[in-house]
A and B are shown apart, each in its own frame.
Chain A
């Protein structure tokens, strides 16, 4: 087959794929409404304020609730919220 035809066919397929992702996204958004709602229900019921994404330390677990201004709150090598945290070493006895 002529090279340009092969290429254009591939691009066409990929474009269809891209459009499919948009369609898929809309579709799954509809499907996920109930998932989001079950999350929302929990949030409403218990007054949750944060995502359970980073559970290693207080101030990462409850980002919006914690006083962000104290470093090394929990785990000695926990990822710091402030860049300065990566410059300060944890206290000697904790290492």
Chain B
């Protein structure tokens, strides 16, 4: 019984392949366009999903609460005595001020992110840089980098270390220096910080702490880690959305093309179906044959497109997307995404790419295959 069924399906596949190969150019063209669409959609999905996952994992370690002072609607320096004003809040295990900012390097037209770290050995002359900066400026350990300060003086720093290149996704444009050097470079007086960082041991207390903070320091806004994580969650779905919108044009074109190809039964095809029915095929056989036609095209396109997308995103570092993501940035991290692929993702992709095509092939056939087979006699 089982074998009989399989044999029947194989015959139908034989026939469908023969009839597809008959219009080789058209069929292959269709397959190519279809594959390309799947490739693009799959690339976008795989890329954003993996990036979102990776960001989520890494940023899990970011501070529970960051306190920013706002002045006239803008981020402003926060006085150190705010640390005292916070005092002892229940649940807060640690609190400290941070100094960080941006430095625009006209030499390569790039923005660096400068952070401060106490561990830099010689406070005023040494820095650690991220690999993105090193690449952009062609620097190696031992080289000197000159930064121009707020009041026009130039300071030279020796590069003592490069940050681990494996962490480039978060560190490509980082430049670490001592707090003293930072204050001197940007002319920030003692007693001020960029923002404050609070550690909260118990995640359930974070919201409560944030509420107390807004009462205690009304000119600040607390940024919670969950907000950071949510930002990245939504930003990638947003970018994914934008890419999808850009793709819509091509998808629509394809839909029209596919509809025309799949649904518009030519007179010749109609005649063929008549012949098949006349020589003893049932309506159901004709439908099954058409199902296989849709299946063969869409399944091949799906499998090839998905495989190509996987290779593109996880082995070629999504090089096709780089121009889009890079924007006007000079520093762009070189990273190899960790593949996060799950069944649900594959199933969604399958559902949205394969199913519509199969439906589009079968539906119009319904009308013609229930017509009388005696039409071929005349």
Contact = CB atoms under 8 A, between A and B. Distances in A.
Contact of B166 (A38, A46, A51): A38
Contacts of A44: 61-62
B83 interface: no
Contacts of A18: 303, 306-307, 346
Interface residues of chain A: helix, strand, loop or mixed (majority): helix
Contacts of B30: none
B66 A65 contact: yes
B341 A21 contact: yes
Contacts of A74: 111
A52 B331 CA distance: 8
B58 A43 contact: yes
A40 B327 contact: no
Interface in B9-44: 10-11, 13-14, 17-18, 21
Looking at chain A, what size class is its interface with the partner chain?
35 or more
B42 to A, nearest CB: 11
Interface string A49-93: 111111111101111111101100011011100000000000000
Given A46-B115, A64-B227, A64-B231, A54 B68 contact: no
Interface in B34-61: 51, 54-55, 57-61
B14 A35 contact: no
Nearest to B132: A52
Given A60-B327, A65-B66, A75-B328, A4 B10 contact: yes
A67 B328 contact: no
Given A25-B340, A44-B61, A61-B102, A39 B327 contact: no
A94 interface: no
A67 B332 CA distance: 23
A15 B17 contact: no
Contacts of B235: 63
Contacts of B328: 56-57, 75, 77-79
B113 to A, nearest CB: 6
Interface in B305-342: 306-307, 310, 314, 325, 327-333, 338-341
A40 B58 contact: yes
Interface in A16-40: 17-18, 21-22, 24-25, 28-29, 32, 34-36, 38-40
Interface residues of B, number: 74
B181 interface: no
Contacts of B208: none
B232 A28 contact: no
A21 B338 contact: no
Nearest to B50: A25
B117 A29 contact: no
A43 B197 CA distance: 13
Contacts of B57: 36, 40
A61 B175 CA distance: 14
Contacts of B307: 14, 17-18, 21
A65 B58 contact: no
Contact of B117 (A4, A15, A46, A50): A46
A22 B57 CA distance: 20
B163 interface: yes
B237 interface: no
Interface of B: 10-11, 13-14, 17-18, 21, 51, 54-55, 57-63, 66, 68, 70, 73-75, 98, 102, 110-111, 113, 115, 117, 130, 132, 163-164, 166-174, 176, 195, 197, 223, 227-228, 231-232, 235, 296, 299-300, 303-304, 306-307, 310, 314, 325, 327-333, 338-341, 346
17 contacts: A5-B10, A21-B339, A25-B314, A41-B61, A43-B61, A46-B115, A47-B66, A47-B197, A49-B63, A49-B66, A50-B59, A56-B330, A61-B102, A61-B173, A63-B231, A64-B231, A65-B66
Interface of A: 2-5, 7-8, 10-11, 14-15, 17-18, 21-22, 24-25, 28-29, 32, 34-36, 38-58, 60-67, 69-70, 74-75, 77-79
Given A39-B170, A47-B98, A78-B328, 4 more contacts: A3-B13, A52-B132, A57-B111, A67-B73
